[in-house]
Structures are given as structure tokens and as C-alpha cells.
């Protein structure tokens, strides 16, 4: 069974990581997301991490790489659902996300993506 689900809706790819994910599954997921965005000309990706209790440096680094890859494909990435204990651990270990945009939940992430024009011209802060 996969540890993630991927859904496409209204030009946005929704990725839900449903349980702790191993390194090889992270690679498979990120390749799938990049290929799907490219082939379907999507303008945004939301990665919902609500179910995760831990984000390790490997996943953090690959999310950063995904954000940079999507930017080259004229798509935006929003990370949704980080819980307070997860954020506290990330801060304690000094893991930073300079290339990532965050939202409290998937609904807010959708709103953040809609604030941006598909061409990349921003209409508000993300």
C-alpha cells in the first residue's frame, strides 16, 4: 500500500502523505508529482503533511528541491497541515524552508494558490 495519495482538481495537484514515508517512497512521490505537473500543465501543488508526526532532513530537502523544480515548470508548491509539534522539532534542529510556502490546511493552501495568477504574476503574498 502506498503511503501517499495524489489527486488532480481544477489545475492543482493535491498530494496527501498519509503516514510516515520512507526515503525511496519520497523519491517516487516527487518524481510522480513533477511528471504529473509537466504532463497536465498544472499551476499548483499542495502537499498535505497533516498525518506526519516527524519530518526528517531527507524529506525536508526533497520538498525544497520539489519547490525549485515546480518553479521551473511555472507551478507553485504550498505545504499544508504541519502540526505544532512537527514545527517545533524542525525549529529545534535548525531545519529551514526558504523556498517553501505554508498554509494551515488544504483549504487555505487552495486560497493561497488562487491568489497567484497562473503566469506567475503575484496578486498577493504567498
* pLDDT at residue 125, as a whole number: 40
> What pLDDT, in 10s, does the model give residues 8-42?
988 999 999 988 888 898 899 999 999 999 999 89
- Is the pTM above the cut of 0.75? yes
Query: Which domains, ranges and CATH numbers included, belong to the chain?
Result: 4-114 (3.30.750.24)
Distances (CA, A) of 37 to 50, 100, 107: 22, 17, 20
> What pLDDT, in 10s, does the model give residues 54-81?
888 888 889 999 999 999 999 999 999 9
d(CA 101, CA 97): 8
Higher pLDDT, residue 38 or 98: 38
C-alpha cell recorded at residue 26:
519520497
Amino acid at each position: 500500500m502506498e503511503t501517499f495519495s495524489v489527486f488532480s482538481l481544477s489545475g492543482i495537484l493535491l498530494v496527501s502523505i498519509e503516514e510516515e514515508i520512507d526515503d525511496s517512497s519520497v523519491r517516487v512521490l516527487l518524481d510522480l508529482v513533477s511528471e504529473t505537473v509537466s504532463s497536465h500543465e498544472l499551476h499548483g501543488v499542495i502537499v498535505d503533511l497533516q498525518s506526519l508526526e516527524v519530518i526528517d532532513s531527507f524529506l525536508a530537502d526533497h520538498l525544497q528541491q520539489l519547490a525549485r523544480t515546480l518553479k521551473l515548470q511555472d507551478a507553485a508548491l504550498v505545504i499544508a497541515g504541519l502540526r505544532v509539534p512537527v514545527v517545533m522539532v524542525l525549529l529545534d534542529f535548525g531545519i529551514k524552508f526558504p523556498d517553501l510556502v505554508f498554509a494551515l490546511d488544504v483549504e487555505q493552501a487552495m486560497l493561497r494558490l488562487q491568489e497567484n495568477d497562473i503566469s506567475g504574476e503575484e496578486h498577493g503574498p504567498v
